[in-house]
Chains A and B, each alone.
Chain A
């Protein structure tokens, strides 16, 4: 309590001097759970955008922004909702950056964001269901829908001459949505899907799943799962029994730990993960200074999500969600001056003068369907036990 008083007194002092506002942004990501290896970098990137705006001192005439982290767990909707509830009612955040995984993002949107009228921008929720979910204009994402990833995956497999594949997915919103998207796109491209079967994460044995997949056959196996959960178990069992040699790995399976855990046998497998060679990536990489890794999945998207929220606030001249929710699309899309990472101060100046900006950011942000990124992907191939980017799409 004493600490809290001191902190608020200190905050009051700094704010009081400028007569400006203290803005709070919740950063709700899965710091524990299936994607705990990705989230530290994502949060650091979002905080970098906040620090950049604070350093400029130009947001709403010198308002200071504080990021408050909360744990979404990625999988437990109950815990995530409680954490978001605490952010909104306890910490009184003005907006939320997050959540990460699709299931918890939908839960927070329905149970916390809409009832309280708080804007949320997710850097990594990719379920196609979120494209059409009722949001009251409060929900955006700097990540693309998996429907787009399905098209990309089909395109890559077609180019590599694959005629048929077996498909397994982790049994949740993300896995099911992505698997459906891949299946639809692949069949449209004339590739046969021999079987589509779910697997549960964290199970003791995957021989049954691999047996069914092997029996159905196919040139390769598509594993729409998580790299430190069931996805890894399936790949190991499939390699051990000689059922499949090559795997197609969607975003949730791309990470440095997978090729190391599986070993040589994964060489030659390929996949795709949201990412871009947009010039913004290089700039953001220069700004990172070791605090985060721009090539880690969804890290640049996190920077962009935080930047969009703060720019929209300036455009609306208000930190209230109800006021700035309509400005998010304006600052993200054309027309206007193009804004790269590191140019947030310049963007704030233009907005203050009443001008228009087109936020490009690290990932070439272009929001479509009124809420989500149009999507850029890196095509990955595993070479010498490393994920190598072979192409941008």
Chain B
């Protein structure tokens, strides 16, 4: 019986990675859900918006690094983040003025806007690859670990290591701050309230004198902020490669839909549900159970419910179950 090692192993391989991944998905899903709630379409370009924001941040980070500008133990990318957000906001507002506004004035059906956003996705996709290329880019600097597996083993004398990366800590802290700020903005400020009013009932909002163009512009700016932050955190934690951002779109949409499209709190819950289900259901519990079992009773098999090949099947099975029994998602979003 060795419960401490079991808990450490579980923390190291399940809880910490899933929490960080969940936070990244949650911030991404918040962006998707904001657009769905206020502009009323599913924005397929969101993954590539994240890639664009991360790319701008990386370019500014490299500039700062060449100037010798550093942020003590934290990644320099944090300093560059506001510039990345500004550039992304400019791109999104430009896209809105050039593309989406036309369809909005036509009162186009949401499905048309979805197709349009796919077109935008391919353009952004090409833009990012054209500027920074298709390869992996590494832009993480500063201290890599808050605590590394080896130091932890030396400190505690346990058999199991516990690694906690700076990028993971940063992701979790930033997610909390961003979510708090967003909720404060939506619930307490005049602009935030007008956005919610616009989301609840467009006609009534227009009648009460809310300027729709202003609401749309603010939405895109907030989405740019969320997308860039999610993109940069993901890039710091794993690595930046345009193709993987495109692939992130699926889990992000799954998170937003499970939580309830249009519901910010649902997006956050959805992010964690998807991340934890992907990792725990396919985790091999051999080691963890081995520590709990009395001597000689350790399991020989892997104690794995499903092979990791099926991790996407798991998140989509959850998605289908939620949609069957609660079509509006866990937190009463708009029905899809």
| Residues of A that sit less than 8 Å from B by CB | 171, 195, 197-200, 202-205, 207-212, 214-217, 228, 232-233, 236-237, 240-243, 257, 261
Judge whether A212 and B308 touch: CB under 8 Å.
Answer: yes
**CA of A273 to CA of B248, assembled, Å:** 33
Most chain B CB within a 10 A radius of its CB, from A208, A211, A216, A233: A208
Judge whether B284 and A202 touch: CB under 8 Å.
Answer: no
Stretch binding the partner chain, chosen from B13-21, B78-86, B214-222: B13-21
Judge whether B278 and A216 touch: CB under 8 Å.
Answer: no
Judge whether B163 and A242 touch: CB under 8 Å.
Answer: yes
Judge whether B308 and A215 touch: CB under 8 Å.
Answer: no
Additional A-B contacts beyond A199-B308, A205-B238 (7; CB < 8 A): A197-B309, A203-B244, A204-B234, A207-B13, A208-B279, A215-B302, A261-B239
Judge whether B287 and A214 touch: CB under 8 Å.
Answer: yes
**CA of A218 to CA of B279, assembled, Å:** 21
- Mark B167-192 against chain A: 1 for CB-CB distance below 8 A, else 0: 00000000000000000000000000
Minimum Cβ distance to chain A for residue B228 (Å): 17
Q: Which of A171, A202, A211 contacts B309 (CB 8 A)?
A: A171
Q: Tell me which residues across on chain B come within 8 A of A243, comparing CB atoms.
A: 13
A-B contact pairs, 10 of them (CB 8 A): A204-B247, A205-B17, A207-B18, A208-B282, A241-B13, A241-B161, A242-B12, A242-B161, A242-B163, A257-B135
Q: What 4 pairs across the A-B complex have the smallest Cβ distances? A: A242-B149, A207-B17, A215-B284, A242-B161
Closest to A243 in B: B13
Q: Tell me which residues across on chain A come within 8 A of B302, comparing CB atoms.
A: 195, 212, 215-216
B286 at the interface (CB under 8 A from A): yes
Minimum Cβ distance to chain A for residue B10 (Å): 9
**CA of A248 to CA of B136, assembled, Å:** 22
Q: Tell me which residues across on chain B come within 8 A of A232, comparing CB atoms.
A: 136, 239
Q: Tell me which residues across on chain B come within 8 A of A195, comparing CB atoms.
A: 284, 302
Minimum Cβ distance to chain B for residue A246 (Å): 14
Judge whether B309 and A215 touch: CB under 8 Å.
Answer: no
Interface residues in B61-86 (C-beta closer than 8 Å to A): none
Interface residues in B205-259 (C-beta closer than 8 Å to A): 234, 238-239, 243-244, 247-248, 251
**CA of A208 to CA of B11, assembled, Å:** 13
Q: Tell me which residues across on chain B come within 8 A of A257, comparing CB atoms.
A: 135-136
Closest to B246 in A: A202
B95 at the interface (CB under 8 A from A): no
Tell whether A236 pairs with B287 under 8 Å between CB atoms, given A203-B247, A210-B13: no
Judge whether A241 and B17 touch: CB under 8 Å.
Answer: yes
Minimum Cβ distance to chain A for residue B306 (Å): 10
**CA of A215 to CA of B165, assembled, Å:** 20
Tell whether A261 pairs with B244 under 8 Å between CB atoms, given A207-B279, A214-B287: no
Judge whether A198 and B309 touch: CB under 8 Å.
Answer: yes
| Residues of B that sit less than 8 Å from A by CB | 9, 12-14, 17-18, 21, 135-136, 138, 148-150, 153, 161, 163, 165, 234, 238-239, 243-244, 247-248, 251, 275, 278-279, 282-288, 302, 304, 307-309, 311
Minimum Cβ distance to chain A for residue B153 (Å): 8
Minimum Cβ distance to chain A for residue B303 (Å): 8
**CA of A100 to CA of B269, assembled, Å:** 45
**CA of A243 to CA of B13, assembled, Å:** 9
Q: Tell me which residues across on chain A come within 8 A of B248, comparing CB atoms.
A: 204
Q: Tell me which residues across on chain A come within 8 A of B238, comparing CB atoms.
A: 204-205, 233, 236
**CA of A216 to CA of B285, assembled, Å:** 9
Q: Which of A199, A209, A228, A241 contacts B149 (CB 8 A)?
A: A241
Minimum Cβ distance to chain A for residue B164 (Å): 10
Q: Tell me which residues across on chain B come within 8 A of A199, comparing CB atoms.
A: 308
Q: Which of B138, B153, B278 contacts A208 (CB 8 A)?
A: B278
Most chain B CB within a 10 A radius of its CB, from A197, A212, A214, A261: A212
Minimum Cβ distance to chain B for residue A29 (Å): 17
Judge whether B244 and A212 touch: CB under 8 Å.
Answer: no
Closest to B288 in A: A215
Tell whether A211 pairs with B279 under 8 Å between CB atoms, given A198-B309, A241-B12: yes
Minimum Cβ distance to chain A for residue B29 (Å): 13
Q: Tell me which residues across on chain B come within 8 A of A197, comparing CB atoms.
A: 307-309
**CA of A360 to CA of B256, assembled, Å:** 61
Minimum Cβ distance to chain B for residue A208 (Å): 5
**CA of A215 to CA of B280, assembled, Å:** 12
Minimum Cβ distance to chain A for residue B23 (Å): 12
**CA of A212 to CA of B286, assembled, Å:** 9
Minimum Cβ distance to chain A for residue B13 (Å): 4
Q: Tell me which residues across on chain A come within 8 A of B288, comparing CB atoms.
A: 215
Minimum Cβ distance to chain A for residue B50 (Å): 11
Minimum Cβ distance to chain B for residue A257 (Å): 8
Tell whether A215 pairs with B244 under 8 Å between CB atoms, given A208-B279, A209-B308, A241-B149: no
Closest to B311 in A: A208
Minimum Cβ distance to chain B for residue A21 (Å): 40
**CA of A209 to CA of B150, assembled, Å:** 21
Closest to B314 in A: A208
**CA of A216 to CA of B301, assembled, Å:** 9
Minimum Cβ distance to chain B for residue A259 (Å): 13
Q: Tell me which residues across on chain A come within 8 A of B247, comparing CB atoms.
A: 202-204
